[in-house]
Structure 1
Amino acid sequence: MTTSHELRLLPWTGPDGKPCFLSTDDSDGYLSRLADNIESAQLGMATELLDQALDMLADTDTEPDDLRLLAKDLTGALRDTLRVATSRDHRLSSRSTDHRFR
């Protein structure tokens, strides 16, 4: 079992909006693979949304309501991307700490 500083931040939240964590030594387990797949999908959606945003912002005829929806979608994508980055940073940091002691 992992120690508390090695908990993996998962790419979803609980029903009350609080972060979810996974404690496992098995990076190939079902939940770890599910989290990896969801992270990949979230990053892919963020990339697509960024492309859409660039197109919409370049179009001078874009309606204000469309820009508000774009801002809402970008905010969600940024939140997800930051959660993925935080999770990966924690996992990389714990791996580099492990290697220093070997």
Structure 2
Amino acid sequence: MTTPNELRLLPWSGPGDKPCYLSSDDSDGYMARLADSIEAGQLSTAVALLEEAAEAVGNQDTTLDEMRCLVKELTGALRDILRVATSRGHLLATSDPRGPAY
């Protein structure tokens, strides 16, 4: 069984925006594959939003409402990506006996 420091932070939150964790030795199990798929989608969304933001900033015709909407979407994407980075950082730290490479 997985030890507490090897729990995988999942790319979604539970009730009250509390983090959800996966405790499993099976890195190819259904829940692990589902989490991997959701993380890939979140990363893809972040790339698309970054491209959209670069275009919007360079376009003088972008309205304030469009920028507000974009900032809201970017904020959500950043939250998702930080969760992915935290999860993957923990996975790396537990799989490398030397600890995190900071």
Task: Please indicate, yes or no, whether the TM-score normalized by the shorter chain is above 0.5.
Answer: yes
Structure 1's consecutive aligned runs of 4 or more residues displaced over 4 angstroms after TM superposition are: none
Q: What SS is found at the alignment partner of 2:20?
A: strand
Aligned to 1:6: 6
CA distance in 1, matches of 2:46, 2:98: 32
Please tell me the residue identity of whatever aligns with 2:97. Answer: T
Q: What SS is found at the alignment partner of 1:85?
A: helix
CA distance in 2, matches of 1:96, 1:33: 21
Please tell me the residue identity of whatever aligns with 2:24. Answer: T
CA distance in 1, matches of 2:17, 2:60: 37
Aligned to 1:92: 92
CA distance in 1, matches of 2:64, 2:27: 45
Aligned to 1:83: 83
Aligned to 1:54: 54
Question: Deviation string for 1:20-59 (max 9, x for gaps)?
Answer: 0000000000000000000000000000000000011100
Aligned to 1:18: 18
Q: What SS is found at the alignment partner of 2:15?
A: coil
CA distance in 1, matches of 2:97, 2:77: 30
Please tell me the residue identity of whatever aligns with 1:56. Answer: A
CA distance in 2, matches of 1:54, 1:36: 27
Q: What SS is found at the alignment partner of 1:28?
A: coil
Structure 1 gap segments, 5+ residues each: none
CA distance in 1, matches of 2:41, 2:15: 21
Identity across matched positions, percent: 58
Distance apart, 1:97 and its partner CA: 2.0
Distance apart, 1:16 and its partner CA: 1.7
